[in-house]
C-alpha cells in the first residue's frame, strides 16, 4: 500500500489520518503538538520527528493546516516539504486557505518537479471522523486521478473543480453559504422564541420543507441543547470569511451579506467565544432580542 506523509493533526487532520490508516495506508505523521502525534501513532502510524522524517520515501504528502502562513511555512519554508520531497511527489494541501496562496505554492512546487493539488474539505469534525467529508480539488486531472482513491478514504465525494486554487474558491463559496445559513436560522429561530412559539417544534415542522438543509439539521440540535462544543470554531470560520472577502475584492464581486456575518463573528470573538462552534452565531441574535432559544424540558 502507498506510503503517505501526513502533516497537521488538529481537530480535522487527526481523524482524517486515522481513516487513511483504517484503509491500510502506511502513514508517517508530523505535528508540532507531540501529543497529537502520539495519539495517531497509537492507531498504527509512524512518528516523524521532523518534516524531513515524515515525508522520507513517500509518494504523497498530505497537509492539513490552520491557514495560509502555516501552509507556506510547512511547504516552502526552511526545512519544509520542498527541501526534502523527491521529484514527482504529489502534495495535497487539504487546508482551507487563500486561492492565490495555493497558486503561489503550486508554482514553487512546479520548479522542483513536485505536483500540487489544493483539496479543502467541508463537513467539520463529525464528517472527518466518519470519513464522509466533501472534498473540493484544484489541480491537474492526471494528478487528481492518481490520488482520488486516497481522498475517498477521507471523504464521500472528491470533485475536481478546475486548476490549482479552484478548490479553495469552492471552499470559500461553501463557507459563505454555511455562515449565511446559520445566521438565517438564528434570526428566524430567535423570532420564533420571541413570539412565544416552541422553536423545537418549528424546527421539526420546517426541516423537510424548502428551508430544510444539512446546516439546519447539524446546528439546530446544538442550539436547542445550548451546546456550542466546537465541530468548527468561530475563529476558523472568521479566517475562511477573510479569505472570502479578500478573494471577492480581488475579482470585484461584492459580498455584503458575508461581510455582515463576518462582523457578527468578530463580535462573538470579542466576547470571548472564538473557540465556540459557529452555531453560536445565534448568541448574537439572542442578545439583541434578550431571549434564549433552547429545548423545553
Active site residues: 171
Q: Which helix (H) or strand (E) holds 90?
A: strand 90-93
Query: What angle, 0 to 180 degrees and rounded to 10, lies between the N-to-C axes of helices 214-225 and 166-194?
Result: 50
Pairing of strands 90-93, 155-162: unpaired
**C-alpha–C-alpha distance, residues 123 and 127, integer Å:** 5
- 78: how many CB neighbours lie within 10 A of its CB? 6
- Residue with C-alpha cell 470585484? 252
**C-alpha–C-alpha distance, residues 125 and 118, integer Å:** 19
Q: How open is the CA angle 158-60-167, to the nearest 5 degrees?
A: 35
Amino acid at each position: 500500500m502507498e506510503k503517505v506523509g501526513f502533516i497537521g493533526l488538529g481537530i480535522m487532520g487527526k481523524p482524517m489520518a486515522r481513516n487513511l490508516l483504517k484503509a491500510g495506508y502506511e502513514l508517517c505523521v508530523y505535528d508540532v503538538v507531540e501529543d497529537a502525534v502520539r495519539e495517531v501513532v497509537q492507531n498504527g502510524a509512524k512518528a516523524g520527528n521532523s518534516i524531513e522524517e515524515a515525508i522520507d520515501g513517500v509518494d504523497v504528502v498530505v497537509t492539513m493546516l490552520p491557514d495560509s502562513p502555516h501552509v507556506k511555512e510547512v511547504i516552502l519554508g526552511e526545512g519544509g516539504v520542498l527541501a526534502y520531497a523527491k521529484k514527482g511527489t504529489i502534495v495535497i494541501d487539504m487546508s482551507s486557505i487563500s486561492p492565490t496562496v495555493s497558486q503561489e505554492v503550486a508554482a514553487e512546487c512546479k520548479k522542483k518537479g513536485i505536483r500540487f493539488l489544493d483539496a479543502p474539505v467541508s463537513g467539520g469534525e463529525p464528517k472527518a471522523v466518519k470519513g464522509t467529508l466533501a472534498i473540493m480539488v484544484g489541480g491537474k486531472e492526471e494528478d487528481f486521478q492518481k490520488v482520488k482513491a486516497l481522498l475517498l478514504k477521507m471523504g464521500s465525494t472528491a470533485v475536481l473543480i478546475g486548476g490549482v486554487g479552484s478548490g479553495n474558491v469552492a471552499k470559500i463559496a461553501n463557507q459563505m453559504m454555511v455562515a449565511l445559513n446559520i445566521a438565517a436560522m438564528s434570526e428566524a429561530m430567535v423570532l420564533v422564541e420571541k413570539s412565544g412559539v416552541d422553536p423545537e417544534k418549528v424546527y421539526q415542522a420546517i426541516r423537510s420543507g424548502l428551508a430544510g438543509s444539512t446546516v439546519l439539521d447539524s446546528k439546530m440540535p446544538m442550539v436547542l441543547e445550548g451546546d456550542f462544543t466546537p465541530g468548527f470554531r468561530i475563529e476558523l470560520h472568521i479566517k475562511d470569511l477573510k479569505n472570502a472577502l479578500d478573494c471577492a475584492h480581488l475579482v470585484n464581486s461584492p459580498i455584503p451579506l458575508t461581510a455582515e456575518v463576518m462582523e457578527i463573528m468578530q463580535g462573538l470573538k470579542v466576547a470571548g467565544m472564538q473557540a465556540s462552534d459557529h452555531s453560536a452565531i445565534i448568541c448574537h441574535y439572542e442578545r439583541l432580542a434578550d431571549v434564549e432559544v433552547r429545548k423545553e424540558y
